[in-house]
Amino acid sequence: MAAYRTAAPHRPVADYDLRYDGQPVVRCPDCHWAQALHEHLHEGPYGLLYWHADHPDEAVDHLQALPDRLAVPAYIEWWASGHWLAIEDKRIEGASRLLGTDCLEIFQSVRLSSGLERAVLVNTQRLSIFPSTSRANIEDAAENLFRTGLLLPAPGLRQPV
């Protein structure tokens, strides 16, 4: 296995000098793949580095601007656990994690329409807040999910490898 990894065409690295929201970034100097580590889910960079070396064709630059349309990647398993989002990233070996209700609303909205409108509406009603405040909260949470590889651009928006 180690010989395969050194012979792989992509050599991803953990870049501790480049940070997103205080978290280190993993990236590949051989392509445009980059994402921030999720501090509670990824538990270190190695699982993601090995995954990218094995799947270079699934490279997305998660540090670019949040796309208008989103999709849940095939490597993410998610389900509602009460009012929480339970999530498991299959790229790494580890336990599932619970994320907030706003993240659950985002995943449900993306699953139905690839957009965030439903999440904004549900969040506005749930918290009894102004729609502009709800939109800011939802977009911020969606951006964090996107930056850590838990969401992708919708298939028509994929970046070239």
pLDDT of 23 > 60? The answer is yes
Summarize the chain as % helix, strand, coil (round to 5).
40, 20, 40
pLDDT of 27 > 70? The answer is yes
Q: What is the CA radius of gyration of the chain?
A: 16
pLDDT of 3 > 70? The answer is no
Per-residue model confidence (pLDDT) at position 70: 97
For 47-102, what is each residue's pLDDT tens digit? 999 999 999 989 999 999 999 999 999 999 999 999 999 999 999 887 689 999 99
CA–CA gap between residue 39 and residue 155 (Å, rounded): 27
Averaged pLDDT for residues 26-31 = 93
Residue pair 23/39 in contact (Cβ under 8 Å)? The answer is yes
For 113-142, what is each residue's pLDDT tens digit? 999 999 999 999 999 999 999 999 999 999
pTM of this structure: 0.88
